[in-house]
Amino acid sequence: MKHFFSQKGSPASQTGQMGRKLTIVAMSVFVVFLTTVNSALAKKGITMDFKDEMYSLKTAILNSESLYGTIEAQTGINLYGVNFYNLDGAAQSRVDQVVYSHIDKYRALVAEGETSNYAFHLPMRSTPWASSYFNRIFGGIAGRWQETVGFSTYHRLNQKAHVAFLSLDPDDLLSDSEVLEKLRSMSREDLDKLSPIEKFDIIRGKYQFPGTTFEMVERGAYSETGIVTKIANSLLKRNRVIPSWITHIRAPWQGFCNGKASASIALPEPVSDIEVSNADGINVTLKIADLKALASAAYFFNEKYVSLGRPTKTHHLVTHEFSPNMAVFDFALRSYLMGLNKSFIIDNHANAAINNVALNGYERTIKSIKPLSKFSRKEREEILTQNPQTAKVAEVLTKLFFVNHLTTSKESDQRTVEDIVYKGKYIKDMKIRYLLFLDGEGNIIDGKLTDGDLDFAWFPAGKGADATHEELDKETGRMEKQGNEELDFDMISNLVYRSAGRIYN
């Protein structure tokens, strides 16, 4: 499955909440007012099929491994280390029955233990941590965040002093022994101010800085042939200062928000700086923000994920091209977030700019329940076209709580989970409205989004796969690596766990 979200991210502070009033600049400036949508039936776009989305939620629950103990107890099937799809059909059916039984606990509009106005927040052990999303403009994880808050321009440590910016010519590079000598001559303070990926290259004895080069060229402020690099090279050759406007040539919202959200769910929060020595005796301090950056990059691609809905491709207008089926999204809030005490990720920009954030809780209010007779003829026809078994329709207002992006990498250099849980810091919320279609017994059988900037949701699982992820190159017909092969996931995880005072298995 293609990781359609993996190379995008957008902080709410950069793009803003689109709302219903949007200003669009094209050849001339004109304003489009999106009128209030009072019914889901008037919403533009396609609601995803209920059965397909239920299968996705089932897969997400399986991938989480949270029900493996229950599955083994009820079926005798041990799924640890086993590929579910290698099981025979009968075994798969028994496993599916357990998972769907878990979801079915929440088929009723108000399940046991819930009320018509019900709120839930994740406990501390499951709360995602906060961090910046390491904006590419500022270098991504190759940005020296401690010494700059803007355009991150520096020669890699293996480059000769006189060469052009970001030269990849071997004649412009120092030898490993020359780099090592250079590192030994650097002060501890200067070593501490290196970027997260530079430090990681040093720890691994990679003195030609392959990880750093990849991040600077592919995911940093510049691409090898991009206009930023060309302009910067020209200015540097003439000893000119690089103007700040160059930083805005790239899309300002691109970063590692997808990886940051995934890592904050899967890995414990780094809470202390750690000292690491490489084989040559070079000591490096990995600060909390360095570790969060490396973890976010390691999860730029995920070993597993499934989604509800699909990302909107249209720029500017809020169209919800392929909205999640809101019945299944409602089940996800209650059976996954609450039922498993496990966060998942939403894109809260209903346009082409993607802003991945990890959910921390919700407040769900049932506003009304109406029989079909209360709807117009046209509305009834559209409801029954989506699901002919619908007898009643419930309108639900839900406030989603998520861990917001911190503004800068310097802000990321701290522990955050305690403040999230006890003080409500770093938490933002967004409201969504949706209709839930009920059958004659009052069970939820379908749904549709009516209002709000929810675009799609996804459920990461397994290890970070940035170092190993491949995709088919349509031009060559070959599988090509997409991420940074130098980002050893197990090594990064071990460092993060060490910072958290835990042991990585």
pLDDT band, very low/low/confident/very high, at 154 (cuts 50, 70, 90)? confident
Q: Is residue 454 part of a domain?
A: yes
Q: What is the mean pLDDT of residues 5-17?
A: 32
Q: Is residue 431 part of a domain?
A: yes
pLDDT tens digits for 185-226? 999 999 999 999 999 999 999 999 999 989 988 887 654 433
311 and 224 in a common domain: no
Q: What is the mean pLDDT of residues 414-429?
A: 95
Average per-residue pLDDT for the chain: 84
422 and 311 in a common domain: yes
24 and 49 in a common domain: yes
Residue 239: its pLDDT value, please?
A: 53
Residue 136: its pLDDT value, please?
A: 81
Q: Which one is predicted more confidently, 26 or 422?
A: 422
230 and 309 in a common domain: no
Q: Which of 422, 442, 461 is the last residue of a domain?
A: 461
pLDDT tens digits for 263-281? 999 999 999 999 999 999 9
Helix ranges (H only) for 204-320 are 210-214, 227-237, 257-266, 288-298
User: If DSSP states are collapsed to H, E and C, what string results for 169-226?
Assistant: CHHHECCHHHHHHHHHHCCHHHHHCCCHHHHHHHHCCCCCCHHHHHHHHHHCCCCCCC
Query: Quick count: other Cβ atoms within 10 Å of Cβ 34?
Result: 14
Q: Is residue 315 part of a domain?
A: yes
pLDDT band, very low/low/confident/very high, at 242 (cuts 50, 70, 90)? very low
Measured CA to CA, the distance from residue 250 to residue 446 in angstroms comes to 41
Contact present, 371 and 390 (Cβ < 8 Å): no
Q: Which one is predicted more confidently, 234 or 423?
A: 423
Residue 135: its pLDDT value, please?
A: 84
Number of domains in the chain: 2
Q: Is residue 100 part of a domain?
A: no
CA 178 to chain centre: 39
Retrieve residue 196's tokens.
């997260």
Q: What is the percent of the chain where pLDDT is above 70? A: 81
Q: Is the pLDDT of residue 492 over 90?
A: yes
Dihedral, 305, 258, 342, 111 alpha carbons, nearest 10: -80
Q: Is the pLDDT of residue 124 over 80?
A: yes
Measured CA to CA, the distance from residue 366 to residue 472 in angstroms comes to 45
Q: Which of 229, 251, 273 is the last residue of a domain?
A: 251
Q: Is the pLDDT of residue 458 over 90?
A: yes
418 and 358 in a common domain: yes
Residue 13: its pLDDT value, please?
A: 30
Spell out the residues 6+ positions from residue 354 whose beta carbon is closer than 8 angstroms to its own. 5, 8, 9, 10, 253, 257, 258, 311, 347, 455
35 and 184 in a common domain: no
Residue 349: its pLDDT value, please?
A: 84
Q: Is residue 277 part of a domain?
A: no
Measured CA to CA, the distance from residue 200 to residue 485 in angstroms comes to 13
Q: What is the mean pLDDT of residues 2-20?
A: 31
Residue 330: its pLDDT value, please?
A: 98
Query: Quick count: other Cβ atoms within 10 Å of Cβ 340?
Result: 17
Domain of residue 231 covers 136-251
Q: Which of 216, 251, 286 is the last residue of a domain?
A: 251
pLDDT band, very low/low/confident/very high, at 125 (cuts 50, 70, 90)? very high
Lowest-confidence pick of 92-101, 210-219, 279-288: 210-219
Retrieve residue 324's tokens.
């999640």
308 and 370 in a common domain: yes
317 and 457 in a common domain: yes
Q: Tell me what percent of the chain is helix, strand and coil, each rounded to the nearest 5.
A: 35, 20, 45
CA atoms within 13 A on the CB side of 330: 35
204 and 123 in a common domain: no
Residue 129: its pLDDT value, please?
A: 98
pLDDT band, very low/low/confident/very high, at 240 (cuts 50, 70, 90)? low
Residue 421: its pLDDT value, please?
A: 94
Q: Is the pLDDT of residue 366 over 90?
A: yes
Q: Is residue 112 part of a domain?
A: yes
Taking CA atoms, 220 is separated from 109, 122, 152, 208, 269, in Å, by 47, 34, 9, 17, 24
pLDDT tens digits for 166-190? 677 888 899 999 999 999 999 999 9
351 and 229 in a common domain: no
pLDDT tens digits for 319-361? 566 889 999 999 999 999 999 999 999 999 877 778 999 999 9
Q: What is the mean pLDDT of residues 448-471?
A: 94
pTM of the complete model: 0.84
Q: What is the mean pLDDT of residues 8-31?
A: 29
Q: Is residue 192 part of a domain?
A: yes
Lowest-confidence pick of 228-232, 251-255, 444-448: 228-232
Q: Is residue 87 part of a domain?
A: no
Bridge-based pairing of strands 46-47 and 322-323 is parallel
Residue 199: its pLDDT value, please?
A: 97
361 and 314 in a common domain: yes
**3 state DSSP class of 425:** coil
pLDDT tens digits for 23-47? 222 222 222 222 333 333 334 467 8
233 and 151 in a common domain: yes
